[in-house]
Structures are given as C-alpha cells and as structure tokens.
Structure 1
Amino acid sequence: MSKKIILGIIAIVLAIAVIAGFSFYNKIFGNAVTKNGILFIKSTDELTDVKTKLAQFIDTPSNFEWIAKKKNYVNPKGGRYELIEGMSLNDLINLLRSGKQTPIKLSFNNQDTLEKLAGRISKQIEADSISLLQVMKDPKFLETNGFNEKSALGMYVPNSYELYWNTSAEKFRNRMLKEYKRFWNEKRVAKAKKLNLSKSEVLALASIVQKETAQKSERPIVAGLYLNRLKSNWPLQADPTIIYCLKQLNGQDFVVKRVLNKDLVIDSPYNTYKNTGLPPTLISMPDISAIDAVLNYKKHNYYYMCASIEKIGFHEFANSLAQHNRNAAKYQKWISQRGINR
C-alpha cells in the first residue's frame, strides 16, 4: 500500500473523528433551548415527565434523556425553572439538578372564605386547593395559634409574597403565620390596645369597614363612626354583617344588592342590628388599608352614614338621626327608582 493511500486513510479517519467529536461536543454543549420559557416540574414528576415537558423547548428530547442519565440526573427536583434561549443541554441539566428555581410573587386579597383563599393560592403554587384547605383548617394548628375555623381567615394578611412554586401547603400556611406575626408589630399592637381591642377584634371591625367602603379614603372616617358607636354601646347596624348572615343561610353565591327590613331580624350573633358590640369574628378578609384605617381612625362626631347618590361610591355622614333620616330617604327613593328590590 502506497504512502499516499495510507496518509489518505489516516486523514479520513481523523476527519471522521473530528466530525464525531464535534457532533458529540455540540450535543452536550451546543445551543439546545430554542426559546425562553418557564418549566414547571411537579414534586411527583419522573425523568420521562420532564423529557415530555421539555419537548416544547428543545428539538431533541432524546438527547436530553441520554445526557441526563450520563450526568446521573434521574430524580428530578420539583420547582419552577426559568429557561433561556440558547442554553445547552449541559447547562439545562445542571440547572435542574441543582434545584435553583426562580421564585414567584404570590399575591391574594379580599377572599371571603378559606375555600376561596385556597382556590386562589392553588392557582399560583403546586399545592392543590384540597391540601391547602386541609392545613388551613387543621384543628391542632388553629388551637395552638389561637384561631378557629371562623377566625382563621384573619391570619392571612393580603399582600405579595416571594416564595417557591413547589412550596407545600403546610409550608405556605406556616409562612403566612410568620407574616401575620410580623404584621402585628409592637406599634400596631399598641394602637389596638389603646382602642381597647384585641387583634381579632380589630380584624372583625376592619372586615366590616372593608365591605362598607369602595373608597379607601373613607375608611378612617367609617372606622371612626363604628368606634363611636362601640364606645356609646350602640349597635353597629352594619349592612355587610347582614349580607354575611344571608350568605351563611343561602350560600356564598347568594347575591344581595339591597338589605331589606325583614333581613334585620335574622337570628345570628353576626347580626349587628340585633346585637351590640362586634361580631364574633371577621366577616371577610380585610386588606392592610382597612386594618390600618381602624388603628388610625379619624376622630369625629358621626354616628350615622348612608350611601351617597351625588357621589357614587361615597357616603353621606351625619351626627343626628334627623339628618340621617333625610339622607336615607333620598337613597331609598333613588334605589327604588332603579328597581333594585334584593
């Protein structure tokens, strides 16, 4: 065999080796992720599940599985992972194997029941609404921390929180307890004590203020009005508590656009027309502005209020029954003209 032929064969072999080596290198370290996106891996997912989910982000899922096994990535860590266009399979697997997921901003507000809150949270983290509701209503947890099923909603302070998507139901609940304790700092506790109210009583009043007001600017005024009534041992006569009673009797989907006189005699500890003082617990989830409106209420001499027909969404305030009756008569006439009977 001539020297030229031998050299030619060697050149061909080397070329094949270089091509194969480059192909092998490119398979591992070349651009693989075709677009930016978020990959959600459940805590119960296996490698085949991850491979299926990655099909929308990479062209060769089979290569991913092969390299993953070579790098001993066989037990996926649940989480929310941010994928960047151009990532190699090596970088992708290193990211998933490390468990370095991107946190989320979880938010909620104004949920009327634990059931609704659980539903809202389950849309943002891996835990489903059933598991969330179970831990929210856990009797031992509630008793240990001074809550019951009726008052437990007050433990959840509406806000935005940074946490991981795969946070368990129990860890979410425990995080909210920490946030509740952080919210009720020394200043807020001192203000509540000055009002001669407990934290749960502040929340109960704040929930009424929340439901009573469409405008946040009115909340300190409305809070002051109710506090005037409490100090004078007058019934609060808060329509939101009657609506709460009606929903307890007819279901949460029961729509109430107008409180009727016959509703005011409902036999319930939450009926603030029949009972003086605050209801046993909050009637809905108050937001921070409603809670702080109670703690920083506006001092005035108002004892009555009625929805305004001149400034929709606001109230007409009065310190005499005669003035209130005139305001109420105008409002009742206005609402009747619009055919609102319930």
Structure 2
Amino acid sequence: MSEPVRKSAIEYRNQSLKRRRRWATVSVVITLALVCFSYYFYQIFFTSNVETKGKPSYVVIPRGADWKTALNAIDKTGAVVDKLSLHFVARLMKYDKPGAVKPGNYELKDGFTNRQLINVLKSGAQSPVRLTFNTVRLRSELVAKLASQVDVPAQQLDSLLRDPAYTRSLGFDTTTVLTMFIPNTYEMYWNTTATRLMQRIKTTYEQFWTPARDAEREKLHLTRAEVTTLASIVEAEQQQHADERPRIAAVYLNRLKRGMKLQADPTVVYANHDFTIKRVLNVHLQKDSPYNTYMYAGLPPGPINLPSIASIDAVLKPEQNNYLYFCAKEDFSGYHAYAVTEAEHIMNAKRYQAALNRAGIK
C-alpha cells in the first residue's frame, strides 16, 4: 500500500488562517448583534416614548381591565410614539401578570420612557382628578356630574343624598344637604368611594365656613343652609354681573326683615321645573310648591342651585340700602332697576315689560 499524502506546512497554515477568519467573522457578527440588541434594549427601555406636546395628558384605567385593555386605552390618547415597543416592554416587565393592572387616573408625562410609564401603572401611582360641579340646579344633575368624573355610580350618590339617616349624620336633611356642596375644584382619586367623596365635600364645607363667615352669618340671624339658599336665589337673579349681587342680596334681606314674601322669579321657575321659562307669567305663579316665593313667605326649603362663593359672600356682606324691589333694566344690560316703594317698582316693571314686548320675548 502507498503512504498517505501528508499536508504541507503551507496547507496547515492556510487552513488555520481560514478557521481564524471564520471565527473572526462570526465574532464580528455576534458582536454587532449584541451591540444592536443592546442599543434596541436601551432605546425601548430608557429613551422617551411619550410626547404630549406640553399639554397635560391623562388616561383612565377602568376597574377589571386587563393589561391589553389598559395599553389600548393609553394608545388611544395619542401620546405614545412607539406603541409596539410599549407593549413589548410591558410584557418584559410582567405587566401582563394577574394583579399588575391597577385601576385609576394616570398622567402620561411628557418625556416618559416605557419603563417609567409601566412602573407608574404597576405601582398604582395615579394622579388625582379635578372634580368640579358648577351650574347645577337639581340633585339629579349633581350626581350625574360627579359620577362622570370619578368611578362612583350615580345611583350610589343619589341613594346617600336621599338617605335621611346618612344626611343627618353629616348635619343636614335630604333637602339642605345640597348646601354642603360649595362649587369649587376638588382634587381626589378617580377610584374613590361614594362615602369618601362625601366626606371630602364635607371637609371642604367646614373649611369654607370660617369663624369670620359664621360671625357675618350670625349678624343676619340665618343658618348656614339659609345663607346658601338665599345665595342661590341671588345667583339666579344675577349671573352676568357679580358686582350687583350684594345689592340684590340686600333687597331680599330687607324683605325678610319686614316679613314680606320674597317674590323671586327664579324660585317660581324652579318650582315649575321648567328652566326654559324666560318670562314668568301668572300661570307660573299658580304652581303650589314650597319653592314658590310668591305663594309662600320666607326662604324656600333648600337651594335652587349651587351658588358660587361670590354669591354666598354677597349675602354675608350685603350692600346697606333700603330697597325692597327690583326688576331687570329695559336696556337688557343684565343690570337691574331698584325701588323703595311699590309705585316706583311698578313704573320700572312697566318699562321692562314694554321692552320685552318690543323684543318679542314671551
């Protein structure tokens, strides 16, 4: 048999060079892959992925939502730049696991990274909502406004406000409890409860009634609820020009002192529950209701709206005058003409009624 051919030193060297080149190529590829992956990892975890253009952006995660529902709600805000990377990071950070999704109102802050956003969502570090309830006349309107801003069913709030035992525990009855709601901006968490919300309102109410305000109230010989009820009438009479409210308040206080009926048109509108009425007519005055101050003397049993702080303070610090009557000015400026005697008032009223007729207002 012939001897096997031995590879020369040159061949061994060439093969060795090829192997080294292959490994070098593989190493370069692996290194590049690691660099690319590291860069992508860094990008999706540590670079900004929320852009709000300087405007506050919030998302509500409802009770019972899973992680996909939560992320879809965030997607719909339009604040997330790369939605795919957010969903990817959410899974890596185990936001898809049971118990990770916490309901609430969350702020999507400008410049948030995916990691920061998911950490906020998992921790439940929600932002309070700014609760408001201006321009409310009826209890049904109030509970609807409150329920639209926090996660409390309207029927739960309505049930509390109708419960004599509960309202009594707050120091009110089911009618005067509405005077507890001082129109303002309240900060509270979206997933609050009905009772916590009511306690928050009561705390603000007690803070509002400072010793100074109570001292002014006592001079008038009115309860807190009566002050707010009168303020609601003043508010309804003058919605345009707050500077006139102390004068209007004085007129009604003067009438109360003399035992005169208030004869306030806004109370008649409220008694009829027809807020489209622009001109109170005799037919409206026939409505038998404790809110009809043409029919019954004194203040109505509760407020006809939730008056502003300005109107409450107007009652507490009324103008000093002897006026007993007023009616809208015929120039439709929103201001009123005042009178001490009924004869003066009748002349003012005739001028205004003539203006209404000319304008075709019925």
Same fold (TM over 0.5): yes
1:299-329 CA distances to partner (integer Å, 9 max, x unpaired)? 1111111211035211111111221121122
1:122 paired residue among 133, 147, 157: 147
- Tell me the equivalent position of 1:108: 133
| Alpha-carbon shift at residue 34 of structure 1 (Å) | 5.6
Contact kept in structure 2, 1:233 and 1:276, CA below 8 Å? yes
Which has the larger displacement, 110-119 or 24-33? 24-33
2:267 equivalent to 1:241 = yes
Looking at structure 1, the residues matched to 126 and 145 of structure 2 have their Cα atoms a distance apart, in angstroms, of 22
- Tell me the equivalent position of 1:174: 199
**Pair 1:331–1:30, CA change in 2 (3 A):** closer
Which has the larger displacement, 278-287 or 93-102? 93-102
**Pair 1:86–1:283, CA change in 2 (3 A):** closer
**Pair 1:34–1:258, CA change in 2 (3 A):** closer
1:66 paired residue among 81, 91, 101: 91
**Pair 1:11–1:123, CA change in 2 (3 A):** same
2:352 equivalent to 1:338 = no
Looking at structure 2, the residues matched to 86 and 325 of structure 1 have their Cα atoms a distance apart, in angstroms, of 66
Looking at structure 2, the residues matched to 301 and 24 of structure 1 have their Cα atoms a distance apart, in angstroms, of 78
Looking at structure 1, the residues matched to 298 and 251 of structure 2 have their Cα atoms a distance apart, in angstroms, of 13
- Tell me the equivalent position of 2:182: 157
Matched position secondary structure for 1:181: helix
| Alpha-carbon shift at residue 226 of structure 1 (Å) | 1.0
2:70 equivalent to 1:54 = no
Gaps of 5+ in 2: 1-14
Matched position secondary structure for 1:69: coil
Contact kept in structure 2, 1:46 and 1:74, CA below 8 Å? no
Which has the larger displacement, 19-28 or 188-197? 19-28
Matched position secondary structure for 2:93: helix
| Alpha-carbon shift at residue 243 of structure 1 (Å) | 1.2
- Tell me the equivalent position of 2:254: 228
Which has the larger displacement, 129-138 or 48-57? 129-138
1:202-234 CA distances to partner (integer Å, 9 max, x unpaired)? 111111111112321111111111111111111
Looking at structure 2, the residues matched to 310 and 89 of structure 1 have their Cα atoms a distance apart, in angstroms, of 60
Contact kept in structure 1, 2:67 and 2:95, CA below 8 Å? no
- Tell me the equivalent position of 1:2: 16
1:239-267 CA distances to partner (integer Å, 9 max, x unpaired)? 111111111xxxxx552111112333432
Which has the larger displacement, 91-100 or 17-26? 17-26
Choose between structure 1 and 2 for higher RCO, CA contacts under 8 A separated by at least 6 residues.
1
Matched position secondary structure for 1:262: helix
Looking at structure 2, the residues matched to 100 and 287 of structure 1 have their Cα atoms a distance apart, in angstroms, of 33
- Tell me the equivalent position of 1:312: 333
Looking at structure 1, the residues matched to 174 and 188 of structure 2 have their Cα atoms a distance apart, in angstroms, of 25
Give the TM-score of the pair, scaled to structure 2.
0.83
- Tell me the equivalent position of 1:19: 36
Identity %: 36
| Alpha-carbon shift at residue 31 of structure 1 (Å) | 4.1
Matched position secondary structure for 1:220: helix
**Pair 1:281–1:59, CA change in 2 (3 A):** closer
**Pair 1:8–1:240, CA change in 2 (3 A):** closer
Gaps of 5+ in 1: 248-252
**Pair 1:135–1:48, CA change in 2 (3 A):** farther
| Alpha-carbon shift at residue 236 of structure 1 (Å) | 1.1
1:77-135 CA distances to partner (integer Å, 9 max, x unpaired)? 22222224553322221121232233333322230012112222333333343344334
**Pair 1:39–1:295, CA change in 2 (3 A):** same
1:37-78 CA distances to partner (integer Å, 9 max, x unpaired)? 422212332222113223342331540332231796842222
Contact kept in structure 1, 2:233 and 2:267, CA below 8 Å? yes
Matched position secondary structure for 1:316: strand
| Alpha-carbon shift at residue 143 of structure 1 (Å) | 1.8
Looking at structure 2, the residues matched to 338 and 103 of structure 1 have their Cα atoms a distance apart, in angstroms, of 48
**Pair 1:198–1:15, CA change in 2 (3 A):** same
Larger Cα-atom Rg? 2
Give the TM-score of the pair, scaled to structure 1.
0.88
Looking at structure 2, the residues matched to 41 and 71 of structure 1 have their Cα atoms a distance apart, in angstroms, of 14
CA RMSD, 1 decimal: 2.5
Contact kept in structure 1, 2:180 and 2:201, CA below 8 Å? yes
Q: Amino acid of the residue matched to residue 155 of structure 1?
A: M
